[in-house]
C-alpha cells in the first residue's frame, strides 16, 4: 500500500500528463500485485473488474437517486415517502427498490420522472433492474466486460508512453 500511495501522490503532482498517467498506472499495478498471475497486466485485469462490479447495482440505484434529486423529484407517494436525502444511503437504495417493485408506486414515480426524458427512461431501466434478475446479471456482466476492455485500452496507452515516449500525435 505504501508504494501505491507513493506513486499515486507522485502522479498527482506531476506536471506532464504522461508522467501523471504512468505514475498512476504504476500505483494501480502496485495495488493489484499478487503472486496468483504470471504477469502484471493479468494481475490488473483479473482483480480490478470484479472489484468494480462488487457494488455496481447499488451504485446504479444511488446514481438514480442523485439524478432524481438533481431534477427535484420527490418521492412523496400515496402510501410511502422516500427521503432521498437520508444520510443512510443503503436505506435510500432499499426504499427505492421497494417502490419500484410496487406497481402502483412505480407508476407514480414514473409520472414524476416525466419532467426529464432521460430520467423517465432511466426510471424504466431501474424498474427492470429491480424486478428482473436476468437483466441485473446481464448488466453486471456487461459492466465487467466494459471495465476489462477499458483497462486493456489503458494498458496499450501505457505501453505507447513507456516504449515510444508517446508522440504528440496521440492524445491522452
By the 8 A CB rule, do 74 and 85 touch?
no
**pLDDT tens track for 36-91:** 888 889 999 999 999 999 999 999 999 999 999 999 999 999 999 999 999 999 99
**pLDDT tens track for 17-26:** 889 999 999 9
By the 8 A CB rule, do 77 and 109 touch?
yes
Report residue 62: phi and psi, to 5°: -60, -45
Q: Percentage of the chain surpassing pLDDT 90?
A: 80
pTM of the model: 0.84
Q: Percentage of the chain surpassing pLDDT 70?
A: 95
Residue at grid coordinates 506532464: 16
Amino acid at each position: 500500500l505504501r508504494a501505491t500511495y507513493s506513486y499515486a501522490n507522485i502522479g498527482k503532482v506531476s506536471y506532464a500528463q504522461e508522467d501523471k498517467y504512468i505514475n498512476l498506472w504504476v500505483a494501480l499495478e502496485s495495488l493489484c500485485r499478487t503472486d496468483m498471475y504470471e504477469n502484471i497486466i493479468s494481475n490488473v485485469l483479473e482483480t480490478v473488474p470484479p472489484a468494480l462490479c462488487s457494488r455496481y447495482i447499488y451504485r446504479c440505484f444511488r446514481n438514480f437517486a442523485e439524478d432524481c434529486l438533481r431534477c427535484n423529484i420527490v418521492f412523496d407517494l400515496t402510501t410511502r415517502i422516500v427521503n432521498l436525502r437520508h444520510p443512510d444511503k443503503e436505506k435510500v437504495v432499499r426504499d427505492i427498490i421497494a417502490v419500484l417493485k410496487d406497481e402502483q408506486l412505480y407508476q407514480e414515480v414514473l409520472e414524476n420522472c416525466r419532467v426529464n426524458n432521460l430520467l423517465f427512461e432511466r426510471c424504466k431501466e431501474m424498474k427492470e433492474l429491480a424486478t428482473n434478475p436476468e437483466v441485473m446479471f446481464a448488466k453486471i456482466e456487461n459492466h465487467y466486460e466494459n471495465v476489462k476492455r477499458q483497462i486493456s485500452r489503458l494498458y496499450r496507452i501505457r505501453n505507447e508512453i513507456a516504449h515510444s515516449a508517446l508522440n504528440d500525435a496521440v492524445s491522452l
